[in-house]
Chains A and B, each alone.
Chain A
Amino acid sequence: NAGVMQNPRHLVRRRGQEARLRCSPMKGHSHVYWYRQLPEEGLKFMVYLQKENIIDESGMPKERFSAEFPKEGPSILRIQQVVRGDSAAYFCASSPPGGPYQETQYFGPGTRLLVL
């Protein structure tokens, strides 16, 4: 059973470009979470999604950031018009249908975004 997959592992963008980060949850998992880790810090929650639904986006910046988890395909975290402060590691986690409070979240390897 493959773990949580994230791609790309490393992404370099210039200021003003768009960044698209992809996350494929573990097989059988229907809950996806995105976290951001700034250098030398712990992770910060961004958004929690189920298939075709955003359940909690309280950690998402109000502008430029969006997330989706379509019926088919991976979850996408999209950052428009990136700025240097967006440089961070973005982690995706997934959990089984029991839900986040019943099940452990398993993390992907992360995408390291560098904005030049």
Chain B
Amino acid sequence: AQKVTQAQTEISVVEKEDVTLDCVYETRDTTYYLFWYKQPPSGELVFLIRRNSFDEQNEISGRYSWNFQKSTSSFNFTITASQVVDSAVYFCALEDMDSNYQLIWGAGTKLIIKP
């Protein structure tokens, strides 16, 4: 069965520090998609990235970067030089053929950036 594990329930760092949010997934499919979403205190869900299982290149977008390691079934998310506005809950999610188009979500990591 598919599963997404975000072992870090809450992380607290001081502004300008780098922080990595871990995501480990389980799937039997060879074709799948991985996602990260941000949920700020206002509650909406903000799409950050969608990654195909065949594309193992790391991705960088500004201060955000993602490290996809198929060998360890991980899709970790790093924020460089964190800012207070990065404070939010971050969710990792998996979509594969077995899930019939559903997104399987991790429990989320609450990130607190202190000034």
Interaction A to B: yes
Contact B43 A109 (CB under 8 A): yes
Contact A45 B103 (CB under 8 A): yes
B12 contacts A by Cβ under 8 Å: no
Contact indicator per residue, chain B 1-27, by CB within 8 Å of chain A (1) or not (0)? 000100000000000000000000000
- Which A41-89 residues have C-beta < 8 A from chain B? 41-45, 48, 55-56, 58-59, 89
- Which B90-111 residues have C-beta < 8 A from chain A? 91, 93, 95, 97, 99-108
Contact A101 B45 (CB under 8 A): no
Q: Tell me how many residues of A have a C-beta within 8 Å of chain B.
A: 25
A97 contacts B by Cβ under 8 Å: no
Q: Determine the chain A residues whose CB is within 8 A of the CB of B64 once the complex forms.
A: none
Task: Across the interface, name the chain B residue whose C-beta is closest to A104.
Answer: B50
* B9 smallest CB distance to A (angstroms): 9
* B46 smallest CB distance to A (angstroms): 8
Q: Tell me how many residues of B have a C-beta within 8 Å of chain A.
A: 24
Kindly state the separation between the CA atoms of A58 and B95 in the bound complex, as whole angstroms: 15
Contact B45 A110 (CB under 8 A): yes
Contact A56 B106 (CB under 8 A): no
Kindly state the separation between the CA atoms of A46 and B97 in the bound complex, as whole angstroms: 17
Kindly state the separation between the CA atoms of A98 and B112 in the bound complex, as whole angstroms: 37
Kindly state the separation between the CA atoms of A33 and B104 in the bound complex, as whole angstroms: 13
A100 contacts B by Cβ under 8 Å: yes
Contact A107 B101 (CB under 8 A): no
Most buried by B among A42, A101, A105: A42
Give B contacts to A, CB under 8 Å.
4, 33, 35, 37, 42-45, 47, 50, 91, 93, 95, 97, 99-108
